[in-house]
Chain A
Amino acid sequence: MTPHILSLKKYFGVYGALIALTFATVAIASVNLGPLNVVFALTIAAGKAALVGLFFMHLIYTSHRTKIMAVAGLVWLAILIALTLSDVLTRGWLPVSGQL
């Protein structure tokens, strides 16, 4: 078996990026951007997650099948949250006689 071996430079580079992004998260959080705060926070977190996933977890050279499974997990979590919120956030939109 000839494994893909990523260079030390790549690993340390990813590490540096992760630390920098952590600083960025805290810095942006201390500025009032209204609803954009959570957007930035989640986007940066997603970026960090992508770096960890692709390089530390070797997704960048793993099979398509594994990549699809990892993405599927995230998609399913999104389904859970999105459809549940679709209820919670739309209650009371449509007036129903006697309730809501």
Chain B
Amino acid sequence: MSEAGSALATQFDDLDQQHDAATLGMWIFLVTEIMFFGGLFAGYAVYRSIYPQAFAAGSRLCEIALGAINTAVLISSSLTMALAVRAAQVGRRRAVVVLLVATMLLGTAFLGIKFVEYGHKYAEHLIPGSGFAYTGPYAQQVQLFVCFYFAMTGLHALHMVIGVGLLGVMAVLAARGRFTPAHYSPLEVAGLYWHFVDLVWIFLFPLLYLVDLHK
């Protein structure tokens, strides 16, 4: 797959089949990601159901304002991503690049805010392990909550880093004119990945930040 003219890989009969295969392949990969994150969601569900108060206490350690801002940032990045794919569909090369860069910037902003949150947790001695120092009740189970907080948001952040890198590659390819209305499946596929990462956060935010706020 080099120039736009010879974008067809030899195992496929035509670009339609290739596009079909590429999107189906990414969706199947996303299903594996659902199950990958799903293991963490299952563990979370088990422990939240048996330690409801500890999980509420743990949730109150999370900074809702930052979490909410990050949610808005990520949703906005999904918009710019979707618009980037749309721009490719209508052949607007400059718009594709601009929108991809905007998506990357928003993604990086998300990671920056996350970094700040992690920094706060570190400063308050809330990193799980030997340094964990929580003085409230149910300390052991609160540590369990914080474990899941870091595992789930950490895995999510790792996926975002990969996503930003992937979009960088897409932006370079787009700038070189590789995407046309007839052939833009790599961009569509990258978009699916990016939206999925947004989807995971859509569930992480209420489950980690908004447990029993009012108690």
Contacts and interface: CB of A to CB of B under 8 A. Distances in A.
Interface string A58-100: 1000100110011011101100110011001100000000000
Interface stretch (B64-72, B144-152, B156-164): B64-72
Contact of B89 (A5, A12, A14): A5
Given A1-B182, A84-B46, A41 B206 contact: yes
A73 B31 CA distance: 5
A55 B26 CA distance: 17
The 8 A-B pairs with the shortest beta carbon distances in the complex, nearest first, are: A73-B31, A41-B206, A29-B210, A73-B34, A77-B38, A32-B214, A56-B82, A15-B79
Say which size band chain A's interface belongs to: 35 or more
B132 interface: no
Contacts of A1: 15-16, 19, 182
Contacts of A5: 86, 89-90
Given A76-B35, A81-B41, A44 B206 contact: yes
Contacts, number: 127
Contact of A30 (B27, B39, B214): B214
Which of A58, A69, A70 neighbours the largest number of chain B CB atoms within 10 Å of its CB?
A58
Given A66-B24, A69-B28, A80-B39, A11 B75 contact: no
Interface of B: 15-16, 19, 23-24, 27-28, 30-31, 34-35, 38-39, 41-42, 45-46, 49-50, 64, 68, 71-72, 75-76, 78-79, 81-83, 86, 89-90, 181-182, 188, 191-192, 195-196, 198-199, 202-203, 205-207, 210-215
Given A11-B83, A44-B206, A81-B42, A66 B23 contact: yes
Interface string A26-68: 1001111000011001101100110011011110001001100
16 contacts: A5-B89, A8-B86, A12-B79, A15-B79, A22-B72, A30-B214, A37-B210, A37-B212, A45-B205, A55-B82, A66-B24, A69-B31, A76-B35, A76-B38, A81-B38, A81-B42
